[in-house]
Structure 1
């Protein structure tokens, strides 16, 4: 298998102006499908382990699941802990050998967010693990995150620079107009603000809420310095709708392997489209 730490993976993408898809997986079939799609596109990928999946299945089993399905993979893969709000959980992921971790202290005060994120960065860097932090509040609903539109804030260049310098993180999630979950209207990314932030911090930016953002806006964001794009909702949507369609046609079909395969094939189509949109297809040979 071709494990790669998150920092090296995203620095390459940032330097060459393409994006790495960070795809969330909630079960074995999704893990398998993401890796298959990455292999078929010869693209580096991050497989994200999120909080809802951890609640149901556990951190260790999910990590080992990815390890097992990655056996024999030829493309660069990083296992990423997504939106951890617990210092203890983040440290456990580092101990388990995740290649990338995110501590999300965006709901805390700036000072507390900096303090804990800096501790995570120090531990991650000691073991060669990429570290992500977040500044600004990204709206929407995902797993245990629920930020209303009125609470969401656009990250300022000044706070992004201060947060980056004071924590030492490798890549930074900022709020530039995306939202977690399903969009009720087409998002409008603040590309000008993104460019200001990138010019100031000169490190990879992470785009949360990548599901449902028009391809043209995503490409413009990547050209402006976004190197990691999180995709979750569109994957779950593809799996669920394909399975529902099979059961609508065959309500008595209890062969879960067949029904799940329909869902995974639909999800793979989404993953491959995202990889091509992000420009990460055929990039694996340049990274290894």
Structure 2
């Protein structure tokens, strides 16, 4: 099975009241952990690559890892550029075999965001590639994305229809209270997504796929394990999973998950090295780390996204 776009995935997800997991990949073990879980659960899958991951792992290596995953799982897999920050980067990924790209010009003024997004859409659609855009800005830090709380803003529902109509984008990432990274909210606060904003966007864009970025839940057992073995993550709080499940039952067809994968992998490696300080074989600490990612992805697919058995 070749790489696919998200078009059919999102149509089924919207009508079925579930979301597709978009998991960030950086190396072989992460790809294996994600795709093994999805393969066993027969879940459709989006593997996404950030600009930083592409610089770290090399475009060609990542493409070959994803090709191997398709051979091993026979799943419908979309390869997506996460947070493309320029037309040139999006073009490079399109030309290099990606089936979906995100152009994130959300920090620009409305008209400039439209102009940049439309340029990417026109090039991508000519190549059979779909485009995700963003309206509204999420706070937080993740790879190339760094937005202060003061500079973040909720998506304005009154702008979404004009934006989609004028750009021709295929899906839209909106800001309803999620945040990039593990440090999403102040200790003692109770995170609450703005479902009123989501529902207003749904009214403006009936049947149109919505995307949530910054949607890791930051499980406290993994935070505790990282801290136990030498970490320092005070106040790391994520998005409640029951709120993400509710969003998936509405118009949210794609939920991005990155920090939870990093946390699961790091916690496993820290624990292994603390308990087995004499180990110097990477296979000994990366094998349980890969399993930790697999377990995390399986949990997300079944309990949060609801897309198990939908491949």
Deviates more, 1:58-67 or 1:171-180: 58-67
> For residues 112 and 68 of structure 1, what CA distance do their matches in structure 2 show?
39
Superposed CA offset, 1:191-236 (max 9, x none): 1110110121121000001101212101111122000000000001
Residue equivalent to 2:23? 23
Residue equivalent to 2:236? none
Residue equivalent to 2:91? 91
Backbone CA RMSD of aligned residues = 1.3
> For residues 156 and 236 of structure 1, what CA distance do their matches in structure 2 show?
31
Superposed CA offset, 1:120-159 (max 9, x none): 1122222222210001111111001111111110001112
Residue equivalent to 1:278? 305
> For residues 206 and 199 of structure 1, what CA distance do their matches in structure 2 show?
15
Residue equivalent to 2:201? 197
Three-state SS of the structure 1 residue aligned to 2:185 is: coil
- Give yes or no for the alignment of 1:180 onto 2:180: yes
Residue equivalent to 1:208? 213
After TM superposition, the runs of 4+ consecutive aligned structure 1 residues lying more than 3 A away are none
* TM-score scaled by length of structure 1: 0.95
Cα offset, 1:2, TM superposition: 5.0
Residue equivalent to 1:77? 77
> For residues 98 and 6 of structure 1, what CA distance do their matches in structure 2 show?
11
Three-state SS of the structure 2 residue aligned to 1:46 is: strand
1:222-237 correspondence to structure 2 within 5 Å? 222-237=248-263
| Structure 2 residue runs without a partner (length 5+) | 218-238
| Structure 1 residue runs without a partner (length 5+) | none
> For residues 38 and 167 of structure 2, what CA distance do their matches in structure 1 show?
32
Q: Is the 8 A contact 2:87 2:103 kept in 1?
A: yes
Q: Is the 8 A contact 1:7 1:129 kept in 2?
A: no
> For residues 107 and 62 of structure 2, what CA distance do their matches in structure 1 show?
26
Residue equivalent to 1:44? 44
Q: Is the 8 A contact 1:45 1:76 kept in 2?
A: yes
